[in-house]
Structure 1
Amino acid sequence: MDRLKLSHIDEELDSSEVAALCFLCLGIVNRKRMEGIKDAKQLFLRLEENGLLDDGAFLAELLHTIRRADLLSLLETDSRRPEETDARPTLSPYRVMLYRIYEDMTTENFEKMKFLLSSKLGRRQIEASDTALDLFVEMEKADLLSPTKLKDMHAVLKEFDQQLALTVKHYMDEVLQQNPTRVPPLPPRVSMDYQRVNNGSQQTPSTLSISETRPSRERIYSDAQPNRQPSSVANEMEYYDLNHNPRGLCVVINNEKFLGEELKDRGGTQEDANVLQSVFSRLGFTVVVHNNLTAGSIQSELTELGKKDFLDHDALVVCVLSHGEKGCVFGTDEKKVKLRELTSPFTSKNAPTLAGKPKLFFIQACQGGSYQEGAVPCPPRPGEEEVREPSLEEDAGPVHGETVAWDADFLMGMATVPECKSFRNTSTGSIYIQELCRQLMKYAKSEEKDDILSVLTRVNREVGKGEYLSHKQMPEPKYTLTKKLVLKYV
Structure 2
Amino acid sequence: MMDFLTLCRIDDQLSSSEVEELCFLCRDFVNKKHLEKISDAKELFIRLQEVGLLENHVFLSQLLETLRRVDLLDLLKGENWSQEETDAVPVLSPYRKMLYKIYDDMTKMNLKTYKFLLGNRLERRQIEASKTALDLFAELEQAGFLSGTNVSELHRDLLNMDQQLAMIVQRYMEQMAHVNDEEQPRILPRINVDYERSTISSNPQLESMSESRPSYENTIYSDAHPNQSVKPLDKTDFYSLDHNPHGLCVVFNNEKFRGGLGDRPGTQEDSKGLRSVFTRLGFTVLIYDNLTADGIRSKLAELSKNNFVDHDALVVCVLSHGDVGCIYGTNEQRVLLRELTQPFKSCRVPTLAGKPKLFFIQACQGNAYQGGVLPCPPNSKEEEEVEQTIEEDAGPIQGETVPWDADFLLGMATVPECRSFRNIYSGSIYIQELCKQLLEAAESPERDDILTVLTRVNRNVSKGLYKSRKQMPEPKYTLTKKLVLRFV
- The offset of 1:389, in angstroms, is 1.2
Aligned to 1:317: 315
Residue identity opposite 1:474 in structure 2: M
In structure 2, distance between residues paired with 1:233 and 1:455: 22
Residue identity opposite 1:258 in structure 2: F
Aligned to 1:462: 460
| 1:36-51 map, 5 Å | none
Aligned to 1:367: 365
- The offset of 1:303, in angstroms, is 1.0
Aligned to 2:252: 253
Aligned to 1:333: 331
**Superimposed CA distance per residue, residues 353-406 of structure 1 (whole angstroms, 9 cap, x where no aligned partner):** 00000000000000000001112499x99xx99766110000000000000111
Q: What secondary structure does 1:448 align onto? A: coil
- Judge conservation of contact 1:385–1:469 (CA < 8 Å) in 2: no
In structure 2, distance between residues paired with 1:334 and 1:289: 20
Aligned to 1:48: none
Q: What secondary structure does 1:267 align onto? A: coil
**Superimposed CA distance per residue, residues 173-200 of structure 1 (whole angstroms, 9 cap, x where no aligned partner):** xxxxxxxxxxxxxxxxxxxxxxxxxxxx
Aligned to 2:277: 279
Q: What secondary structure does 2:347 align onto? A: coil
| 1:42-441 map, 5 Å | 235-260=234-259, 262-376=260-374, 389-441=387-439
Q: What secondary structure does 1:360 align onto? A: strand
In structure 1, distance between residues paired with 2:236 and 2:386: 50
Residue identity opposite 2:398 in structure 1: H
Q: 1:239 to 1:329 in 2, by over 3 A?
A: same
- The offset of 1:252, in angstroms, is 0.3
Residue identity opposite 1:245 in structure 2: N
In structure 1, distance between residues paired with 2:314 and 2:479: 13
In structure 2, distance between residues paired with 1:249 and 1:365: 22
Give identity over the alignment, percent: 68
Residue identity opposite 2:342 in structure 1: S
Q: What secondary structure does 1:274 align onto? A: helix
Q: 1:424 to 1:309 in 2, by over 3 A?
A: same
In structure 1, distance between residues paired with 2:426 and 2:231: 45
In structure 1, distance between residues paired with 2:316 and 2:445: 26
Residue identity opposite 2:480 in structure 1: T
In structure 2, distance between residues paired with 1:436 and 1:388: 21
Q: 1:333 to 1:385 in 2, by over 3 A?
A: farther
Residue identity opposite 2:419 in structure 1: K
**Superimposed CA distance per residue, residues 140-184 of structure 1 (whole angstroms, 9 cap, x where no aligned partner):** xxxxxxxxxxxxxxxxxxxxxxxxxxxxxxxxxxxxxxxxxxxxx
**Superimposed CA distance per residue, residues 296-345 of structure 1 (whole angstroms, 9 cap, x where no aligned partner):** 00001001111110000000000000000000000000000000000001
- The offset of 1:273, in angstroms, is 0.1
Residue identity opposite 2:432 in structure 1: Q
> Runs of at least 4 residues of structure 1 off by over 2 A?
231-234, 375-378, 384-388
1:447 aligns with 2:445: yes
- Judge conservation of contact 1:444–1:489 (CA < 8 Å) in 2: yes
Alignment coverage as a number of residue pairs: 258
- Judge conservation of contact 1:327–1:401 (CA < 8 Å) in 2: yes
1:486 aligns with 2:484: yes
- The offset of 1:447, in angstroms, is 1.2
- The offset of 1:285, in angstroms, is 0.1
- The offset of 1:237, in angstroms, is 2.1
Residue identity opposite 1:286 in structure 2: T
**Superimposed CA distance per residue, residues 254-295 of structure 1 (whole angstroms, 9 cap, x where no aligned partner):** 0000011x2010000000000000000000000000000000
Residue identity opposite 1:253 in structure 2: F
- Judge conservation of contact 1:251–1:289 (CA < 8 Å) in 2: yes
In structure 2, distance between residues paired with 1:457 and 1:421: 19
Structure 2, unmatched stretches of 5+, are 1-229
Residue identity opposite 1:236 in structure 2: K
Q: 1:311 to 1:437 in 2, by over 3 A?
A: same
Query: Alignment RMSD, CA only?
Result: 2.5
Aligned to 2:185: none
- Judge conservation of contact 1:307–1:350 (CA < 8 Å) in 2: no
Q: 1:385 to 1:403 in 2, by over 3 A?
A: farther
Q: What secondary structure does 2:335 align onto? A: strand
Q: What secondary structure does 1:253 align onto? A: strand
Q: 1:481 to 1:433 in 2, by over 3 A?
A: same
Q: What secondary structure does 2:438 align onto? A: helix
